[in-house]
């Protein structure tokens, strides 16, 4: 049995599970009146159910288990190996997933959420999985555990919250995740780590029905749904785990490849850079970095005059363009540092352009 058939099967099984689960979650939210309430920071104007992310983990794991069973049958059981990384990843994933559900249902303070996220993130280095090589960034290559472990915990928590914060318009968090997951699927497939490919396909599958209901459900048809923190935190954690897994230099698992960390950063560049920019802006204006506002990239595009769907497509295209530019720069120079410098310059130029263009547009509208 070709591994590609198993991977596609995982995607299809997960998508079917999503199409079954999400309508039932919608009905549950409508009956129990579990909605995302509009406010001055949010783009939507109607009450929308917000527990769509609950469907992600069950659909992904069911597809993963069934696909693994197919593969195990083909290889007479030799394909399945549960190591410490796998066990700790599943445990930490369930912690993040549960945190998101509880936050969606009753609401939790920022301090509690950060504490639980750190606890879940620490489990990965505790199993031996952490970033131990910077691939030449600013001249640094192999780094010791005392530096790599806290850096890994910080990176995981940062990406988790970046994905949570970018979930501000329809389809954005899921769309960025789908694109990043496709990139990770290709990277792990090239390295022959097919179990990870099956897991990734399982998550990609359930995002298809979610995007359908989120983008085309329509609040007036009672079919629109948001993923909530149960979805955005889960996606952020899985993406951060895949980034760390791909970036770790471990010859026992896969040979050293200078492309690994640049690829991992490129796939998550838009949400990571957006959160860094927003935090710096808040600090520059003497506000708390945790104070919510309407200064994210999707807010800027909407103020510029784009619709939500146009903003979504624009941000996805920006992410793809950055990925293409990074691939070209790294291929020509093999310099992670140069690639990052170009990314920062381009993203800064994009931000300045949006600010100036929006300001000019507002001035024109105010003129009689």
**Tens digit of pLDDT for each residue in 211-242?**
999 988 765 666 889 999 999 999 999 999 99
What is the average pLDDT across 109-115? 90
Mean pLDDT of 241-266: 79
Q: What angle do CA 360, 349, 173 make, to 5 degrees?
A: 95
Q: Using CA atoms, how far apart are residues 23 and 306, in angstroms rounded to an integer?
A: 30
How far from 267 is each of 59, 259, 325, CA to CA, in Å?
Answer: 23, 12, 12
**What is the DSSP code (8-state) at residue 20?**
H
Q: Under DSSP, is residue 344 helix (H, G, I), strand (E, B) or coil?
A: helix
Neighbours of 358 (CB within 10 A): 17
How far is 195 from 295, CA to CA, in rounded Å?
A: 39
Query: Model confidence at 272, in pLDDT bands (50, 70, 90)?
Result: very high
According to DSSP, residue 248 is labeled S
Q: What is the pTM of this model?
A: 0.92
Q: Are 257 and 4 in contact (CB under 8 A)?
A: no
> Maximum distance among all alpha carbons in the chain?
77
Buried b (16+ CB within 10 A) or exposed e, 116-147: bbeebbbbbbebebbbbbbbbbeeeeebeeee
In the structure, how many helices (H) and strands (E) does the chain have? 13, 4
DSSP classification of residue 278: H
Q: Are 244 and 123 a contacting pair, CB within 8 Å?
A: no
């Amino acid at each position: 049995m070709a591994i590609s058939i198993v991977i596609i099967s995982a995607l299809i099984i997960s998508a079917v599970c999503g199409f079954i689960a999400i309508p039932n979650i919608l009905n549950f939210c409508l009956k129990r009146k579990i909605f995302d309430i509009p406010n001055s920071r949010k783009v939507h104007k109607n009450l929308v159910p917000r527990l769509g992310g609950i469907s992600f983990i069950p659909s992904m794991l069911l597809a993963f288990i069934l696909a693994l069973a197919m593969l195990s049958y083909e290889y007479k059981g030799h394909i399945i190996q549960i190591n410490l990384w796998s066990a700790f990843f599943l445990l930490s994933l369930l912690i993040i997933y549960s945190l998101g559900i509880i936050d969606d249902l009753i609401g939790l303070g920022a301090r509690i959420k950060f504490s639980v996220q750190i606890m879940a993130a620490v489990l990965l280095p505790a199993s031996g999985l952490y970033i131990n090589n910077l691939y030449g960034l600013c001249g640094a290559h192999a780094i010791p555990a005392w530096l790599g472990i806290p850096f890994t915990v910080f990176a995981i928590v940062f990406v988790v919250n970046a994905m949570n914060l970018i979930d501000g318009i329809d389809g954005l968090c899921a769309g960025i995740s789908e694109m990043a997951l496709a990139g990770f699927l290709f990277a792990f497939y090239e390295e022959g780590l097919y179990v990870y490919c099956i897991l990734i396909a399982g998550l990609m599958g359930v995002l298809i029905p979610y995007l359908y209901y989120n983008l085309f459900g329509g609040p007036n048809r009672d079919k629109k749904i948001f993923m909530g923190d149960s979805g955005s935190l889960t996606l952020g954690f899985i993406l951060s785990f895949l980034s760390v897994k791909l970036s770790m230099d471990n010859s026992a698992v896969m040979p050293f490849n200078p492309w690994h960390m640049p690829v991992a950063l490129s796939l998550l560049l838009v949400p990571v850079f957006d959160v860094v920019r927003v935090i710096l802006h808040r600090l520059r204006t003497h506000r708390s970095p945790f104070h919510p506002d309407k200064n994210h990239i999707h807010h800027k595009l909407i103020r510029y005059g784009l619709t939500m769907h146009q903003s979504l497509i624009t941000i996805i295209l920006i992410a793809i363009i950055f990925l293409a530019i990074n691939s070209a720069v790294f291929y020509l120079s093999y310099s992670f540092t140069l690639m990052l410098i170009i990314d920062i310059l381009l993203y800064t130029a994009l931000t300045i352009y949006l600010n100036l263009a929006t300001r000019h547009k507002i001035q024109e509208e105010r003129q009689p």
